[in-house]
């Protein structure tokens, strides 16, 4: 299936390669570089590139291209999903996934990759099992390894692969038993220039951080489970219990994992917590344009909106902008034409605004497009869909765990057309 | 032995592989290090490590060797040590992990002499006790096969053996081996088919993808097409209607033949195994892995009956939230699907709206999908979106949008003029690319109706002075030439200008200049003769031989010469023949002959190793090949109890289930029932065992038993759905249930459309033992997903009046320039029929009304959307208005409205909630909670609100009506009062009573209306035949007889009052 993997950085250097079958020459990446050149932007490189003898499937994350080489028919999503899993695993191991970090941990990287695929077919991709096979690097361990000359390869025989619950290690022990759940909802919306909602939907996830001893069996129930329209589960969730009782019953994976992601339907029900008033105008004759935006709270259920960030890609004709924000800081990059305004918290009494002028290319006619405003924000302690966790119960273990649930609403792809 | 060397310092020493000088050192595999090339002593270390008794050191050493081999290094010098220590010793190691690693090392050594030993080791490992070792054996098979393909026959034996394995750990790996070594040996799957289906849910994600893809191919060879029947019905409704011959021909069995005398019975019977596959894969749509979701989606697309394919849309749309690479692949597949099954994605239209931050390649794919989804109803919205896209900064995307507008215009006749006008306005755009693209599209549109558009052609002619893009210039010239009679004055002038610039033009433009000259010469030779000759002479000496050829050829044709007059007499016919308008179609059309989700589909070209998706067979191959003789059926789907072996008590249940019907609807089932029932009892054991074993893991059991359930019992399930499963059922009862449901399933597909108990004739039940039909079977079924069984998922269509009134306004908006856009998201709810839900006295000041808005409830098409009006008549604000825990009758479900935080005194608010009434008029009872009070309220729907209108032609209506005769037809005679004899009043009264759409009707005094019930999508057809003097006859045809009867009553009442 997957023959080889090349890691390519943004300047086009292959800084790591790994082969699971025979060695494929790096020259195969030339086809990739060609496509990259044609695409101009990294995100527009086609994820699947056919070459005379191979197919290159790539994902782009953390400014690194992960290019898999395959020779025969295979579902493309299979490979793409695997590559993303590789990136997630690196992130899990090293905290971040970047070129310097991968280079620093090159030994572990190879060991992990070796275990993830056998002859090109995925073998151990659950991070719990991998961590048992190959210990993640820590400062202490690095020091010990240098002194004793040992490696990161686990000296105990891993049993995770044989475990009845493949996502959980056996014999987990904690002194503080705790289980935290974050309910995070994102609002995806397109608002048109008059302020009405063209489309809005809520996507949510429940991320769990579970540090419990032994083999606990958890049950999480909701006050209003019917809000969840479309759900996808971590493999640990018992599908049947969900179908019949709408509760989540599972033996959790150890550590942090995504328990559930869901979708709340019905666009006319979505409360839009912010509005943007904007006045962006170019005049045909003048080389100055007016720019003014104000952000204000709308349906916030009494909570404060924080972490507000406004970004907008200005038309090419805009040379520079001189703006004054009523709060926060703003920057405009004259090269990429990207305006960003870090607003911070919204005070309903004194709405933040950004006003000023744009200097346009003289002589050129006014740009015929208006910029789209992208909005980011956060609202703590609120799940905008109204989803509420009812209770969390634990079975199978004697101790009393510490439980915590946190709600948060964020902007997903939130765009205001002007 | 010394401690293993630290890998890090060693990796720089060796520059093997493809690394050239000066390349970064990181590009090497340090796990193997440079030990072998640099230091032979270390090599000895490794051997020594293998010789020790310590497990950990052996493991460490073997890991190194695997890593080294993976780099393609020659490891043959290690061969003796590995074979001695690994193949011979470790393969018998008591630790299963050592055995597995030993095999992994051994199989990674790419040395031909090792083949016999490897073969031996694989064979041994394949019968190992540990499933993990067996899994490793499966992984080793393709490795050996690539080393020596002569071993194929022996390897197939091993694969066959491993395929029979019953653990989830092995299943994925062995199917992968199967696909690589012998994908053509489909016969190996027969015996394992049912087991694979049942195990599927517990296999790890990667294995699931491989298995699903293989089973898709398998099903295509073994089952009949579930859609063939639909086409059959269209061709020959009469025969299909009564068609018992076909039943028999398909081996459907005598009981089906008897049953088929009933109306609306279809001759096609889905094989229960086919159904099993569909049912067991469906939950995987909920997987977190995009690859699995896609695999299930393609399976449904290729295998499921049309009515059931819809379930995949929601899952695919969810994937659009994922990484852009995933989006890219999913959108490609959605684009292909949306051509064949447009209705499936229509409710999700808005999910394909484009954001300015999407990468261009994603934008273009979304545009493709939007274009495919556009139809008469949603075109205003789609065009309004396109209008925003036109002003994007991304010019490639703008060009694609213009193309898309062109396609919409060709596909949907009534917006053609609007689109054309919009495109013409774009001609004055400042961006040349935009203009050029518009010209090309306009050319195609004009070709469809040139007569009216002389003005546009003139406008285009003027553009030749400015436009430089060759394709656009060529298009304009072609248009002028083709329609020169519409612009008789301008055409020669354009030719004059072109003649001047001829030498500087691009080749395609030159060719069109020659064309234009020729056409003008033929129609207007007086003015253009000289010009034409000039152009032809220029072309004669052109550098491009195509142009030279064309010039010679044209000259011979149009200029009459002495000898060759025959052709030139027909020149006019040749050049000015009416040409068919081009068909603008999607580049994704017909891509579905590749298996969806495959690499080949994505590239639209056959990739190496692509297995063709076979066509459905004409005749179904013998289904009995999937029966398993040996009734040993380890309970392996159970994660917890995987290691437990079968329990002896199965022999009992076997005996009991012996005489019952087998799962296969085979005519000679009597004679075969012995062997078949044993297989059935095998599968039922899997469920009964888990039943007894533990209730915690009843998930698995549910999946097992679910698979055997028949659709016929849908109704029962609905009612029993929420009943608690009694624990510790005796094996007797569960075996009863198993055999019952399997026999049920043989009939079930016959009635896939009708779930009504009443319709079931007693005759069809005679063969099932009376006791088995009863309670235990129904109780078992607790995780039923009703959606699985609903017949065609009908997308509710909003009433026609809403569409048509807003359409005109919408289309006027399409000026493609700045103009205020006011999308009509919510059309007003008519206040007629507002009913009280909670009186203000009972509600302590809170008054609540409700009305059926008759709008499709977004999110769930099966729900009736109900508008709720709150008003606060008290003096205090009411807080926290929400729906409390509803106690609903089975099947009925509610989508609550979002909590209303606070309602100030005197204020009112509106909310929308959805209720799935399950096609019954049972009231939905729920609590309305405020912060400190709870009110019990109930909403009972009039029968007319349980449906949504459908549009159909008179012929379709008659055809459908023909299928719904007999018991499904309810007739009532009535007398229309004087006040109710005009067309308008009748139509208004009927549509006010029931949410039906009017069907155009040729005869006067006859009114037809059509709709579908929301939950099951059954057709409801209403005919009112008004005779003179007020006598009238009302007829309702519907599968849902209860609904039909009630509807007749309601409509009669409305009309006569």
pLDDT of residue A359: 85
Which of B27, B598, B698 is opposite residue A15, by nearest beta carbon? Answer: B27
Residues in A closer than 8 angstroms to B18, CB to CB, are 23, 25-27
* Residue of B481, B564, B545, B565 lying closest to B518 (CA atoms): B481
Comparing CA positions, the residue from B1, B117, B107, B106 lying closest to residue B51 is B1
Per-residue 3-state assignment (H helix, E strand, C coil) for B575-588: HCCCCCCCCCCCCC
pLDDT band at A148 (very low <50, low <70, confident <90, very high): low
Look at residue B76 in the predicted model and tell me its pLDDT: 64
CA–CA separation, A248 vs A262, rounded Å?
13
How high does pLDDT run on average in chain B? 71
CB-CB under 8 Å, A226 with B896: yes
Residue numbers of A between 323 and 362 with CB closer than 8 Å to B = none
Q: What is the CA radius of gyration of chain A?
A: 25
Q: Please tell me the predicted confidence (pLDDT) of residue B715.
A: 44
Confidence of residue B325 (pLDDT cuts 50, 70, 90): very high
Q: In which band, very low, low, confident or very high, does the pLDDT at B294 lie, cut at 50, 70 and 90? A: very high
Stretch among B50-54, B508-512, B839-843, B985-989 having the lowest mean pLDDT:
B50-54
- Examine the pLDDT at B677 and tell me if it is beyond 80: no
Which pLDDT score, from 0 to 100, does residue A205 have? Answer: 92
The region of weakest confidence among A30-39, A187-196, B255-264 is B255-264
**Which band of pLDDT confidence, cut at 50, 70 and 90, is reported for residue B800?**
very low
Average pLDDT over residues A238-258: 86
Tell me how far apart the alpha carbons of residues B425 and B451 are, in angstroms, rounded to a whole number: 20
Lowest mean pLDDT among A1-10, B319-328, B583-592, B814-823: B814-823
CA B413 remoteness from chain centre: 28
* B804 reaches A (C-beta below 8 A): no
Is it the case that residue B246 has pLDDT exceeding 90? no
Within a 10 A sphere around the Cβ of B526, how many other Cβ atoms? 7
ipTM of this complex: 0.89
Q: Where on the phi/psi map is residue B341: left (φ > 0), alpha (ψ -120 to 50), or beta?
A: beta
Which of the residues B393, B433, B863, B877 would you substitute to probe the A interface, choosing the one with the greatest number of A C-beta atoms within 10 Å? B393
In total, chain A counts a number of residues equal to 418
Contact A240 B324 (CB under 8 A): no
**Residues of chain A contacting B7 with CB distance shorter than 8 Å:** 107, 151
Residue B54 to residue B264: CA distance in whole angstroms: 73
Are A190 and A415 in contact by the 8 Å Cβ rule? The answer is yes
User: Closest Cα to residue B721, out of B644, B778, B796?
Assistant: B778
Q: B856, B866 in Cβ contact below 8 A?
A: no
Pairing mode, if any, of strands A255-264 and A197-211?
antiparallel
Distance from CA of B783 to the nearest CA of A (A): 5
Read off the pLDDT of residues B997-1040 as tens digits, 9 standing for 90 and up: 887 776 777 888 888 888 888 888 888 888 777 788 888 888 88
Residue B611: list chain A partners with CB under 8 A.
Answer: 73
* Percent of chain B topping pLDDT 90: 5
Q: What is the mean pLDDT of residues B457-475?
A: 81
Pairwise pLDDT comparison (B330 vs B855), residue with the higher score: B330
CB-based contact A75 B294, cutoff 8 Å: yes
User: Is B823 touching A (CB cutoff 8 A)?
Assistant: yes
Output the six-digit token pair for B698.
């009843």
Query: Tell me, what's the pLDDT at B940?
Result: 82
Across A122-151, average pLDDT? 71
Bigger pLDDT: B629 or B193? B193
- pLDDT-derived band of residue B911, with 50, 70 and 90 as boundaries? confident
Would an 8 Å CB–CB cutoff place A52 in contact with chain B?
no
Rounded-to-integer distance, Cα A236 and Cα A206, Å: 14
Measure the CA–CA gap between A130 and B678, rounded to whole angstroms: 43
Note the pLDDT of residue B711.
43
Q: Give the contacts of B537 (CB within 8 A, at least 6 positions apart).
A: none
- Considering only residues 633 to 662 of chain B, which have any Cβ-Cβ distance to chain A shorter than 8 Å? 639-640, 642
Structure letter (DSSP) for residue B613:
-
Lowest mean pLDDT among A153-162, A259-268, B74-83: A153-162
Q: Strand A178-191 vs strand A402-417: parallel, antiparallel, or unpaired? A: parallel
With an 8 Å Cβ cutoff, is A386 touching chain B? yes
Helix (H) or strand (E) holding B600: helix B599-603
Angle between helices B432-446 and B416-426 (to 10 degrees): 150
Q: Give the whole-angstrom CA distance, residue A197 versus residue A298.
A: 13
The C-alpha R_g of chain B, in whole angstroms, comes to: 36
Closest to B59 (Cα-Cα) out of B97, B12, B115, B18: B97
pLDDT band, residue A229 (cuts 50/70/90): confident
Are residues B59 and A19, on separate chains, in Cβ contact within 8 Å?
no
User: What is the band of B561 on the pLDDT scale with cuts at 50, 70, 90?
Assistant: low
A234: β partners = none
Q: Verify whether the Cβ–Cβ distance A386 to B388 is below 8 Å.
A: no
Output DSSP code: residue B302.
Answer: H
**Average of per-residue pLDDT across B949-977:** 81
CB atoms near residue B194 (< 10 Å): 26
The pLDDT of residue B763 is 41
Any residues with CB less than 8 A from the CB of A348 and at least 6 apart, and which?
A: A296, A297
A55 contacts B59? CB cut-off 8 A: no
What was the pLDDT predicted at A341?
92
DSSP state of A119: T
- As a whole number of angstroms, the distance between CA B709 and CA B24 comes to 61
Query: Which residues partner with A288 through β-bridges?
Result: A359
Q: How confident is the model at residue B365 (pLDDT cuts 50, 70, 90)?
A: very high
- Whether the pLDDT of residue B693 is over 80: the answer is no
pLDDT digits (tens, 9 = 90+) for B501-545: 888 888 889 999 998 888 888 888 788 888 888 988 889 888 988
pLDDT score recorded for residue A8: 92
Q: How far, in Å, CA of A115 to CA of A124, rounded?
A: 6
Rounded Cα distance between B463 and B438, Å, is 12
| Shortest Cα distance, chain A CAs vs residue B388, angstroms | 9
pLDDT in tens, B383-434: 888 888 888 888 888 888 988 988 888 888 788 888 888 888 787 777 777 8
Is residue B603 packed enough to be buried (19+ CB in 10 Å), middle (13-18) or exposed (0-12)?
A: middle
pLDDT band at B810 (very low <50, low <70, confident <90, very high): very low
When pLDDT is cut at 50, 70 and 90, the band that residue A162 belongs to is low
Pull the structure tokens for residue B988: 């208004």
Given this model, what pLDDT does residue B1024 score? 85
Name the band, by pLDDT with cuts 50, 70 and 90, for residue B229: low
Q: State the pLDDT at residue B87.
A: 55
Helices (H) and strands (E) in chain A, counts: 7, 23
Nearest residue of chain B to residue A60 (CA atoms): B325
User: What is the per-residue pLDDT for B47?
Assistant: 72
- Residue A64's pLDDT is 92
All residues at 6 or more sequence positions from B642 whose CB lies less than 8 Å from its CB, including other chains? A164, B131, B167, B168, B636
DSSP B1025-1046: EEPGGGEEEEEEEES-HHHHHH
The pLDDT value given to residue B330: 93
- B306-316 burial: b if 16+ Cβ within 10 Å, else e: ebbbbbbbbbb
**Out of B603-617, B732-746, B970-984, which region has the weakest mean confidence (pLDDT)?**
B732-746
Q: How confident is the model at residue B757 (pLDDT cuts 50, 70, 90)?
A: very low
Residues of B with CB below 8 A from A268's CB?
Answer: 825-826, 858, 912
Tell me which residue has tokens 């890998």. B7
Give me B550's structure tokens. Answer: 């064309």
């Amino acid at each position: 299936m997957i023959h080889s993997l090349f890691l390519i950085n943004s300047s086009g250097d292959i800084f790591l390669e790994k082969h699971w079958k025979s060695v494929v020459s790096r020259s195969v990446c030339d086809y990739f570089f060609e496509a990259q050149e044609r695409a101009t932007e990294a995100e527009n490189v086609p994820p699947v590139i056919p070459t005379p003898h191979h197919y290159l499937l790539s994902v782009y994350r953390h400014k690194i291209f992960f290019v898999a080489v395959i020779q025969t028919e295979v579902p493309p999503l299979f490979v793409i999903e695997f590559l993303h899993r590789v990136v997630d695993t690196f992130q899990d191991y090293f905290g971040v996934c970047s070129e310097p970090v991968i280079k620093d941990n090159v030994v572990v990287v190879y060991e992990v990759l070796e275990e993830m695929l056998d002859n090109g077919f995925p073998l151990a991709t659950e991070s719990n099992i991998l961590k048992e096979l190959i210990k993640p690097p820590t400062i202490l361990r690095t020091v010990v390894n240098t002194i004793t000359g040992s490696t990161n390869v686990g000296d105990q025989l891993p049993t995770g692969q044989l475990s009845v619950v493949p996502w959980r290690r056996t014999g987990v022990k904690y002194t503080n038993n705790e289980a935290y759940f974050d309910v995070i909802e994102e609002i995806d919306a397109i608002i048109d220039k008059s302020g009405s909602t063209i489309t809005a939907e809520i996507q949510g996830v429940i991320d769990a951080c579970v540090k419990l001893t032994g083999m606990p069996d958890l049950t999480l129930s909701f006050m209003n489970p019917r809000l969840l329209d479309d759900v996808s589960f971590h493999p640990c969730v018992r599908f049947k219990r969900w179908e019949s009782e709408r509760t989540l019953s599972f033996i959790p994976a150890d550590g942090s994992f995504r328990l559930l992601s869901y979708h709340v339907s019905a666009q006319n029900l979505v409360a839009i917590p912010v509005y943007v008033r904007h006045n962006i105008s170019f005049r045909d004759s003048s080389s100055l344009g007016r720019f003014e935006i104000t952000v204000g709270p709308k349906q916030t259920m009494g909570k404060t909106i924080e972490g507000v960030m406004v970004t907008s890609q200005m038309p090419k004709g805009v040379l520079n902008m001189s703006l004054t924000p009523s709060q926060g800081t703003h920057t405009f990059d004259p090269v990429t034409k990207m305006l960003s305004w870090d607003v911070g918290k919204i005070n309903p009494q004194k709405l933040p605004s950004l006003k000023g002028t744009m200097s346009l290319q003289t002589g050129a006619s006014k740009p015929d497009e208006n910029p789209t405003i992208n909005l980011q924000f956060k609202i703590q302690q609120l799940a905008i869909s109204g989803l509420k966790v009812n209770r969390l119960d634990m079975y199978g273990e004697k101790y009393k765990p510490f439980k915590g649930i946190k709600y948060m609403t964020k902007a997903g792809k939130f765009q205001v057309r002007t | 032995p010394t401690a293993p060397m630290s890998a890090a310092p060693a990796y720089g020493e060796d520059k093997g592989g493809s690394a050239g000088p000066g390349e970064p050192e990181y590009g090497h595999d340090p796990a193997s290090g440079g030990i072998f090339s640099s230091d032979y002593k270390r090599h000895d270390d490794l051997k020594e490590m293998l010789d020790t008794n310590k497990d950990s050191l052996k493991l460490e050493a073997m890991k190194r060797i695997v890593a080294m081999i993976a780099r393609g290094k020659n490891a043959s010098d290690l061969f003796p040590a590995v074979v001695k220590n690994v193949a011979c010793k470790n393969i018998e190691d008591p630790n299963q992990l050592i055995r597995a690693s030993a095999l992994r090392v051994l199989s990674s050594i790419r040395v031909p002499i090792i083949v016999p030993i490897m073969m031996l080791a694989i064979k041994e490992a394949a019968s190992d006790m540990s499933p993990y070792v067996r899994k490793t054996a499966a992984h080793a098979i393709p490795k050996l096969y690539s080393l020596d393909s002569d071993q194929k026959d022996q390897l197939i034996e091993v694969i066959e053996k491993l395929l029979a394995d019953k653990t989830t750990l092995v299943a994925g790996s062995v199917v992968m081996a199967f696909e690589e070594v012998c994908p053509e040996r489909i016969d190996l799957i027969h015996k394992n088919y049912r087991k694979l289906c049942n195990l599927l849910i517990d296999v790890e994600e990667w294995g699931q993808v491989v298995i699903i893809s293989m089973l898709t191919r398998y099903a295509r060879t073994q089952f009949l097409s579930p859609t063939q029947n639909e086409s059959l019905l269209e061709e020959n409704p009469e025969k299909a209607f009564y068609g018992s011959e076909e039943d028999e021909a398909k081996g459907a069995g005598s009981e089906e033949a008897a049953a088929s005398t009933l109306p609306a019975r279809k001759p096609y019977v889905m094989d229960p195994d086919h159904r099993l596959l569909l049912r067991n894969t469906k939950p995987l749509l909920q997987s977190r892995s995009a690859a699995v979701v896609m695999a299930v989606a393609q399976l449904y697309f290729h295998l499921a009956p049309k009515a059931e394919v819809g379930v995949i849309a929601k899952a695919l749309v969810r994937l659009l939230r994922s990484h852009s690479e995933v989006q890219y692949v999913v959108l490609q597949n959605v684009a292909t699907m949306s051509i064949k099954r447009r209705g499936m994605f229509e409710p999700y239209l808005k999910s394909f709206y484009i954001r300015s931050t999407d990468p261009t390649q994603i934008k273009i794919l979304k545009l493709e999908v939007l274009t495919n989804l556009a139809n008469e109803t949603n075109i205003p919205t789609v065009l309004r979106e396109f209008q925003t896209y036109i002003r994007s900064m991304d010019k490639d995307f703008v060009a694609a949008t213009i193309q898309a507008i062109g396609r919409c215009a060709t596909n949907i006749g009534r917006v053609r003029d609007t689109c054309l006008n919009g495109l013409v306005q774009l001609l004055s755009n400042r961006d040349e690319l935009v203009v050029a693209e518009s010209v090309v599209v306009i050319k195609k549109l004009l070709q469809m109706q040139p007569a009216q558009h002389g003005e546009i052609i003139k406008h285009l002619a003027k553009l030749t002075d400015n436009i430089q893009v060759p394709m656009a210039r060529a298009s304009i010239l072609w248009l002028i030439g083709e329609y020169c009679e519409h612009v008789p004055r301008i055409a020669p002038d354009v030719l004059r200008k072109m003649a001047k610039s001829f030498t500087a033009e691009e080749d395609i433009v030159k060719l069109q200049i020659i064309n234009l000259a020729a056409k003008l010469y033929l129609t207007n030779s007086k003015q253009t003769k000289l010009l034409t000759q000039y152009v032809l002479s220029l072309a004669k000496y052109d550098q491009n031989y195509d142009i030279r050829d064309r010039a010679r050829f044209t000259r011979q044709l149009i200029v009459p010469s002495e000898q060759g007059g025959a052709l030139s007499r027909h020149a006019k016919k040749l050049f000015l023949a009416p040409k068919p308008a081009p068909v603008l179609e999607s580049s994704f059309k017909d891509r579905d002959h590749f298996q969806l989700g495959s690499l080949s589909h994505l590239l639209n070209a056959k990739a190496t190793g692509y297995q063709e998706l076979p066509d459905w067979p004409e005749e179904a191959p013998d289904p009995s090949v999937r029966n398993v003789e040996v009734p040993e059926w380890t309970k392996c789907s159970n994660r917890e109890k995987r290691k437990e072996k079968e329990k002896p008590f199965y022999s009992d249940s076997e005996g009991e289930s012996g005489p019952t019907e087998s799962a296969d609807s085979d005519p000679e089932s009597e004679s075969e029932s012995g062997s078949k029932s044993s297989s059935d009892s095998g599968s039922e054991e899997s469920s009964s065992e888990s039943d007894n074993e533990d209730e915690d893991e009843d998930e698995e059991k549910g999946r097992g038993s679910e698979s055997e359930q028949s659709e016929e019992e849908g109704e029962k399930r609905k009612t029993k759905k929420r009943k608690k499963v009694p624990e510790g059922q005796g094996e007797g009862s569960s075996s009863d249930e198993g055999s019952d449901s399997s026999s049920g399933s043989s009939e079930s597909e016959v009635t896939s459309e009708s779930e009504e108990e009443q319709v079931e004739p007693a005759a069809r039940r005679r063969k099932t033992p009376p006791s088995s039909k009863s309670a235990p079977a129904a109780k078992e079924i607790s995780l039923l997903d009703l959606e699985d069984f609903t017949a065609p998922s009908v997308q509710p269509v909003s009433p026609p009046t809403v569409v048509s009134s807003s359409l005109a306004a919408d289309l006027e908006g399409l000026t493609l320039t700045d103009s205020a856009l006011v999308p009509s998201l919510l059309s007003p709810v008519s206040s007629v029929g507002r009913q009280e839900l909670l009186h203000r006295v009972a509600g302590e000041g809170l008054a609540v009304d409700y009305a059926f808005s008759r709008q499709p409830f977004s999110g769930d098409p099966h729900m009736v959307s109900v508008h709720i009006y709150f008003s606060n008549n008290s003096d205090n604000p009411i807080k926290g208005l929400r729906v409390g825990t509803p106690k609903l009758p089975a099947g009925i479900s509610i989508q609550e409205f979002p909590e209303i935080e606070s309602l100030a005194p005197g204020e009112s608010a509106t909310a929308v909630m959805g209720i799935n009434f399950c096609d019954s008029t049972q009231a939905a009872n729920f609590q309305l909670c405020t912060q400190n009070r709870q009110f019990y309220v109930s909403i009972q729907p009039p029968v007319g609100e349980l449906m949504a209108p459908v549009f159909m032609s008179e012929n379709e209506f008659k055809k459908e009506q023909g299928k719904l005769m007999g018991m499904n037809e309810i007739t009532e005679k009535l007398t229309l009062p004087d006040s109710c004899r005009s067309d308008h009043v009748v139509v208004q009264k009927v549509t006010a009573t029931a949410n039906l759409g009017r069907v155009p009707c040729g005869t006067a005094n006859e009114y037809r209306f059509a709709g579908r019930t929301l939950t099951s999508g059954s057709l409801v057809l209403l005919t009112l035949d008004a005779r003179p003097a007020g006598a009238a006859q009302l007829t309702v045809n519907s599968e849902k007889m209860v609904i039909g009867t009630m509807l007749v009553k309601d409509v009669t009442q409305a009309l006569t009052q």
